[in-house]
Amino acid sequence: MQRIDDFTSSTVPWSGVSGRTDRGMPTGCRNLTGMALLAALLVIGSHPMRAATKAVDEGIPVSVAIIKSGDMPVVLSELGTVIPVTNVTVQNRVEGYLTQVLFTEGQEVHEGDLLAVIDPRPYEAELKQYSGQLAADQAQLDEARMDNVRYQKLLRRDSIDTQTAQDQQYKVKQLEGTVEADQGLVDTYRLDIEYCHITAPVSGRVGIRAVDRGNYVTAAQSGGLAVLTQMQPISVIFTLPQDKLGMVWKRLRTAKTLPVEAWDSTDTTKLTDGAVSSLDSQIDTSTGTVRLRALFPNKDEDLFPNQFVNAHLLVDTEHDVLLAPASAIQSGPNGSFVYVVQPDSTVAVRLVKTGVSQGDTVVVTSGLKADEQVVTSGIDRLHAGAKVTIPATTTQGG
């Protein structure tokens, strides 16, 4: 009889479930244990396979959208800058001491409002001087004219020398020139006195003051007194690629104006509405673009000079076209295609042609019909003929 020691001599250490290491196990017992573990693994591994097979049988869950017919606006979005229609540096035309400043920074003023006054007294004194000179020369002219009339009568009677009569005529003309020069000087100093009173050339908002009261200012000095900016209306200048110029120019010639929306620099918030007022006369060869100016009433002053905005130009609107979500359009070796859901809950691959797009919506020009369902998500697991399931909450309109 074989002893138990003979069995134990052919054993190897093994680890139990509890982590305890026994001295050994007979070879026959080890074989039985391995077969049991293999059977258990086979049983466990069969569950995912059955789950995958079940999922395929039930269909791949996808989201779909229904193709609808509607209108598609053709909108071009370009970066623009807010530029005032009128931006004037208020300049003084005469020199002198600034005695009055009648505006406050940021004030809204109207055309013709008095903004500042330069001391007019030196110009008033000059005006008096040349007014007196004008009066004296005018008196001499009147006397010379009377003498000339008398000399001409005497000449006709041959009672005076011809040279003397002619000299008197020349004297009249000379004095007429002197009086005219005096009148010019008088008008100049009257104008200078008017220029001492600086008025607003246009309506708008006054910027930061450049000169304070009491300073001596010179004519047309750098920076002027302040900058006056017209806020209402205001314009946005934006550029258009030359390949889009033909479409826009054609619409401008027929419609005369095109609507424009101004959006903030992040293109998330609409600021105000306006319209294209003019198109530049030539293309910038360095950028291949052409400039457009759009006017905005800016009643709430949502647009501020030199502000960067996004101009959304509505060029045209396509009516009664098929609209599809952009997420449904896929690209393949044969062009764009979509997965169309069939009545038997399978999908078919359909080649399509697309037109303009706006946001998440694309115009489909061929390949689809209204009210057909196209897959918008879960596409990476699909193939022609694949069965799909559509959760009730995932169907969207086109």
Amino acid at 329: I
Domain with CATH 2.40.30.170 in the chain: 76-85+230-318
Q: Rounded distance, CA 235 to CA 18, Å? A: 82
- Other beta carbons less than 10 A from residue 73's beta carbon: 14
User: What class has domain 76-85+230-318?
Assistant: mainly beta
Domain with CATH 2.40.420.20 in the chain: 60-71+319-397
| Tokens standing for residue 348 | 């078919």
- Identify the pLDDT of residue 98: 96
235 bridge partner residues: 83, 295
Instruction: Return the exposure string of 75-113: e unless at least 16 CB atoms fall within 10 Å of the residue's CB, then b.
Output: bbebebebebbeebebbbebebebeebebeeebebeeee
Residue position matching structure tokens 């294209």: 276
User: What is the bridge-based pairing of β-strands 197-199 and 353-358?
Assistant: unpaired
Q: What is the 3-state secondary structure (H, E, C) of 356-378?
A: EEECCEEEEEECCCCCCEEEEEC
Q: Count Cβ atoms within 10 A of the Cβ of residue 282 and give its class: 0-12 exposed, 13-18 middle, 19 or more buried.
A: exposed
Which CATH number describes the domain made up of 60-71+319-397? 2.40.420.20
Q: Are 397 and 65 in contact (CB under 8 A)?
A: yes
Q: Are 350 and 367 in contact (CB under 8 A)?
A: yes
- Identify the pLDDT of residue 159: 84
- Identify the pLDDT of residue 36: 54
> pLDDT 10s per residue in the chain (398 long)?
444 344 333 333 433 444 444 444 554 545 545 555 555 544 454 445 444 444 455 789 999 999 999 999 999 999 999 999 999 999 999 999 999 999 999 999 999 999 999 999 999 999 999 999 999 999 999 999 999 999 899 988 888 888 988 999 999 999 999 999 999 999 999 999 999 999 999 999 999 999 999 999 998 888 899 999 999 999 999 999 999 999 899 988 888 889 999 999 999 999 999 999 899 999 999 999 999 999 999 999 999 999 999 999 999 899 999 999 999 999 999 999 999 999 999 999 999 999 988 889 999 999 999 999 999 999 998 999 999 998 876 666 55
| Tokens standing for residue 285 | 């060869």
Residue position matching structure tokens 């946005």: 236
Query: Nearest to residue 92, comparing CAs of 118, 129, 64?
Result: 118
Run of H or E residues at 255: helix 242-255
Query: Nearest to residue 218, comparing CAs of 97, 102, 103?
Result: 97
Which CATH number describes the domain made up of 93-228? 2.40.50.100
Residue position matching structure tokens 């694949």: 386
- Identify the pLDDT of residue 158: 85
Domain with CATH 2.40.50.100 in the chain: 93-228
| Tokens standing for residue 42 | 């086979």
- Identify the pLDDT of residue 393: 62
| Tokens standing for residue 105 | 């920074």
Q: Count Cβ atoms within 10 A of the Cβ of residue 127 and give its class: 0-12 exposed, 13-18 middle, 19 or more buried.
A: buried
Q: Rounded distance, CA 244 to CA 238, Å? A: 13
